[in-house]
Amino acid sequence: MLFYDPTYILVLIGFFLAMFASNGVQRAFNRYSAVHSYRHYTGKDAARKILDDNGLYNVAIEHISGNLNDHFDPRTNVIRLSDATYNSDSVAAIGVAAHEAGHAVQHAVGYVPIKVRNAIVPAVNLCSTLSMPLFIIGILLGLANLANLGIILFSAALVFQLVTLPVEFNASHRALVILNSSCMLDEQELRGAKKVLSAAAMTYVAAAFASALQLLRLAIINNSRRRD
C-alpha cells in the first residue's frame, strides 16, 4: 500500500493544481511581457524607485540569468532580477520587480509574517529532510509512533506554505499600491500587472493545497496500516 494505493490520487491532484498554477503565471507573464509601459520604466528602474522612496538605499539590485526566478535575499539585502525582468520595460517586468521590492520593504518595516517565515526556514528544512524517511521506516517496521513523528514533521512544510501566503499577497498589494501612487503605471497597465501578480500568487496557494493533500495522504496510509 505504501508504494501503490488509491491515495496516490491526492498526489496527482496536487501535482496538476501546481502545474495549472505554474502554466497560469507563465501565460500571464508572457502576455504582459509584450505590453510595454507608457513611461518606459524598466524592472530595475521600478525596483530602485520603490526602494529609494522607502529609504532603502542600502538594498542592491543585481541581474541574474533565467526567467521568473526573481527574488529578494534578506541575508545579503539584494534584489535579484532575471533576464526577463531586469532591463525590460514591460508591464509584467515592472509588476514582478515591484513585488520583490515589496519584500524588501516588508523586511525593513518588520512585517511579522516575513519575520516568522525567515525564522522557521532552518527548522522547516530539517523537518522536510527527516519526515519522509521516518514515516517510511515507521510504516515498514510497524512503528506507529515513528510514522506519526514523520507526519508531524511533514506538517512543518504545510505550516511554512501557510505562513508564506500572507507574505506573498502583502508584497503584491504593496507593489500595486506603490505603482499606482507613484504613477509608474497607468490604470490599464496596473490591471495587467495585477493579473501577473495574482497568477503568481496562485502558485503559492496551489503549493499549500498540494502539501495539505500530501499530509492527508500520509495520515490515511498510517491509519490503514494501524487497522491492518
Express each pLDDT in 106-122 by its tens digit: 999 999 999 999 999 99
What is the distance of C-alpha 78 from the center of its chain?
17
Q: What's the Cα-to-Cα distance from 73 to each of 69, 76, 107, 163, rounded to whole Å?
A: 12, 6, 10, 17
Give pLDDT, residue 94: 97
Strand order, beta sheet including 78-81: 60-63, 78-81, 71-73
Question: Rounded distance, CA 182 to CA 163, Å?
Answer: 29
Percent of the chain surpassing pLDDT 70: 97
Closest among 101, 106, 103, 107 to 49, alpha carbons compared: 101
Q: Which residues are catalytic?
A: 100
- Integer Cα distance of 172 and 96 in angstroms: 9
Q: Is the pLDDT of residue 2 over 50?
A: no
Taking a C-beta distance cutoff of 8 angstroms, is the pair 191, 199 a contact?
no
Could you give the CA distance from residue 1 to residue 221 in angstroms, rounded to a whole number? 8
pTM strictly above 0.85: yes
Tell me the sheet residues that pair with 62. 80
41-79 pLDDT, tens digit each: 999 999 999 999 999 999 999 999 998 899 999 999 999
Strands (E), 64-128: 71-73, 78-81
As a whole number of angstroms, the distance between CA 188 and CA 175 comes to 16
Q: What is the DSSP string of 45-78?
A: HHHHHHHHHTT-TT-EEEE-SSSS--EEETTTTE
Alpha-carbon dihedral 117, 120, 121, 124, rounded to 10 degrees:
-120
- Band of pLDDT at residue 224, cut at 50, 70 and 90: confident
Output the pLDDT for position 89.
Answer: 96
At 4-32, the pLDDT tens digits run 578 889 989 999 999 999 999 999 999 99
pLDDT in tens, 143-187: 989 999 999 999 999 999 999 999 999 999 999 999 999 999 999
**CA–CA gap between residue 100 and residue 62 (Å, rounded):** 12
